[in-house]
Structure 1
Amino acid sequence: MTEYTIPKLSLASTWKEIEFPPLKNDLLLRAAKGEETERAPVWVMRQAGRYLPEFMEVRKSHSFFECCQTPSIASALTLQPIDRYPRLDASIIFCDILVVPQAMGLEVLMEPSRGPVLPNPLVTPADFSRLREDVDVQKELGYLFEAITMTRKGLAGRVPLIGFCGAPWTLMAYMCEGGGSKTFEKSKSWLYKYPEESKALLLRVADVCADLLVGQVLAGAQMLQVFDSWAGELTPYQFKTFALPPLLHISHKVRHVLKTLGHPGVAITLFAKGANAPSTYALLADPAVTGYDNLGLDWTVDPVEVRELVGKKVNLQGNFDPTVLYGGKEGIEQEIKRASERWLKAGGGWIANLGHGITPNVKPEDMGWFLECVHKYSARS
């Protein structure tokens, strides 16, 4: 049996003392438990972000990571879409997956023209010496816990709050590539040149991720999501060999630590974008084995076909094409109607979302219409 170290979090002994307003809308949490709810709860990845004018107003005077690392700003940004869209059924804390490499000792910049940049990436296993051996999550990432508690109170029970982290493989890809990539030749070559060292790095990242998620739950997060944005770059064999073990380490450690601390636990969603091989779905079909209650789907798969592959033990989230939001009012409505019919046919627990994040040029009013259409067409008769 794996021995899991309890992270050194001040919240470990004080989380029961935090008082939050009662939850008024529990649709998301019910769907995450497998309930076929009266309609699908809906939220959108990156719903707090660059498509909102109020977000861009804040960014005029604050850098991206300043927004992430200042609890009052992160909380305010998280609440912006909730204040604007009463049809949203969940909030997700404003932050970034790359705070984990930062906590491990790597510099991460956010450049307007390039996105995330890591100026000194990991080139060979010798570069492990530049990573912190033991990451004090409370010290390095405590700002996120503070933002979550602040946000739970600011939500006033309107909707649940989701916490998150990046998946180890996706984070490793950034750490080795030095940013985003089209070929992933630097990070994937690690899997061939240094397979054992890659596994060791992935496990180190996973341990930090697990501690981060535990802290978020103790601070008030009511659900969790793990983003494996680059899972689709791996072969099914590589996903099983390299990506899956650290993903399981995260979910199992989070559940073990929360149970040890007396916390009832929360549902966890895995969004492994592009990992759509039938053999991969078979590995993720049973939450009792994986620790993941929900699977997020990207827009390239059909929910009926996925449901046939995974059965009804696991709940599904997704998977409207993000570019539907550029389709105009009629186009949005027709596609939401069509896709919702497939989801209702698939059955089981369904959390409506896009198949990836909302993009910067979306008009806020089109996002609002999308939400209206999901409410209308996801209703079960």
Structure 2
Amino acid sequence: MADLAVVSGARRELRDAPLLAAIRGEHPARPPVWFMRQAGRSLPEYRALRKGTEMLAACFTPELACEITLQPVRRYGVDAAILFSDIVVPLKAAGIGVEIVPGTGPVVAEPVRSAADVAALPTLEPEAVAPVAQAVRLLTAELGSGPSGIPLIGFAGAPFTCASYLVEGGPSRNHERTKALMHSDPDTWHALLDHLAEITLTFLRAQLAAGVDAVQLFDSWAGALSERDYRRFVLPHSARVLAGLADAGVPRIHFGVGTGELLGAMAEAGADVVGVDWRVPLDVAAGRIGPGRAVQGNLDPSVLFAGQDVVDAEVRRIMAEGRAAHGHVFNLGHGVLPETDPDVLSRVVELVHSL
């Protein structure tokens, strides 16, 4: 970790960037805004660039990942870029048999459901994600420094979400095999998440060493759990990841879907910013999260299809509710939907900045 601390001390000078100032609880010159899944999905230039290239191949091609990450920054004028990646990238890099099947999502060749399966899992060596680190270096050069520089957010899936894919063998509606394993064999479960926490740390440390200015730990499926089960089976491992990044000196964002009842526990995991989906108003969420942490969110992505008057009203409401928090980073409550009109997102950015 000493090497990481040295690298973080030599980062681009972006202290006055609106994103970083808002996270510190300050009042930047303009409210910061970026969008989850902004890198691609709805952009025609993304679809043209990705044509004929598989998702994971794009993630491991530095020049391609760099250009995809930059496209929404150019198009929308957002206040942060987020590294184009996927939750299963570090698993793939470690040598675990996983592919992203179009129309399905990540599919695991050999699901992990026993102590022997966990013991057989490979570790992740930093060299295996060298292409991702190279993409980060290309991006920091493009995004600049000083007053006009744009922060770059690193990205990784949280241990629980990675575990769910490994145990289920792919996406799951009910997570029945995952929950069965955690309850019936907690020792194997915790060994699995401990292993995945180490993979996640290695992946994020590589991004930090290459120069990202913040990190987001994304727990897609945590909302499937009760607070009791989250605290027992998930919180210690997410906390280990976030604590392992503390000395890098960059903001840590933690987000999950459907996690309104878990916000207090997620805040205890140690992030500086807690992302909130659209199900809980930001002023209510701020009360659950507690003092000293910023919130991120939380426009319902589906509202972007409702017409400009509705979108504008919702943006204004969310901006007002966000004032109850230590700091507020405007975002969607989940990712940009593929059919979203990019011009609507551009208007959201303009409106947020004007407020």
Give the TM-score of the pair, scaled to structure 1.
0.87
Q: Distance in 2 between matches of 1:362 and 1:182?
A: 24
User: Residues 228-239 of structure 1: matches in 2 within 5 Å?
Assistant: 228-239=219-230
Q: Distance in 2 between matches of 1:190 and 1:302?
A: 34
Task: Determine if contact 2:223/2:259 at 8 Å carries over to the other structure.
Answer: yes
String of CA shifts for 1:134-174, please: whole Å, max 9, x gaps. Answer: 421x2221111111011110112331000011000010001
Task: Determine if contact 1:299/1:321 at 8 Å carries over to the other structure.
Answer: yes
Shift of 1:16: 7.5
1:37 to 21, 28, 34: 28
Q: Distance in 2 between matches of 1:164 and 1:347?
A: 24
Determine whether 1:328 maps to 2:307: yes
CA RMSD of aligned residues (A): 2.2
Q: Who is 2:39 aligned against? A: 48
2:263 to 281, 292, 304: 281
Q: Distance in 2 between matches of 1:364 and 1:93?
A: 19
Give 2:281's aligned amino acid. Answer: D
Shift of 1:196: 1.2
Determine whether 1:271 maps to 2:255: yes
Q: 1:249 to 1:350 in 2, by over 3 A?
A: same
Shift of 1:272: 2.5
User: Residues 84-103 of structure 1: matches in 2 within 5 Å?
Assistant: 84-86=75-77, 88-103=78-93
**SS in structure 2 at match of 1:316:** strand
User: Residues 12-161 of structure 1: matches in 2 within 5 Å?
Assistant: 15=7, 23=14, 26-86=17-77, 88-132=78-122, 134-136=123-125, 138-157=126-145, 158-161=149-152
| Percentage identity across paired residues of the two chains | 34
Task: Determine if contact 2:90/2:124 at 8 Å carries over to the other structure.
Answer: no
Q: Who is 1:262 aligned against? A: none
Q: Who is 2:186 aligned against? A: 195
Give the TM-score of the pair, scaled to structure 2.
0.93
Shift of 1:17: 11
Shift of 1:103: 3.0
**SS in structure 1 at match of 2:131:** helix
**SS in structure 1 at match of 2:154:** strand
Determine whether 1:216 maps to 2:196: no
Q: 1:19 to 1:276 in 2, by over 3 A?
A: closer
Q: Distance in 2 between matches of 1:140 and 1:301?
A: 39
1:164 to 126, 131, 155: 155
User: Residues 359-378 of structure 1: matches in 2 within 5 Å?
Assistant: 359-376=337-354
User: Residues 304-319 of structure 1: matches in 2 within 5 Å?
Assistant: 304-319=283-298
Task: Determine if contact 1:36/1:350 at 8 Å carries over to the other structure.
Answer: no
Q: Distance in 2 between matches of 1:24 and 1:51?
A: 31
**SS in structure 2 at match of 1:224:** strand
Task: Determine if contact 1:174/1:180 at 8 Å carries over to the other structure.
Answer: yes
The alignment of Structure 1 onto Structure 2 pairs a total of residues equal to 352
Give 1:145's aligned amino acid. Answer: A
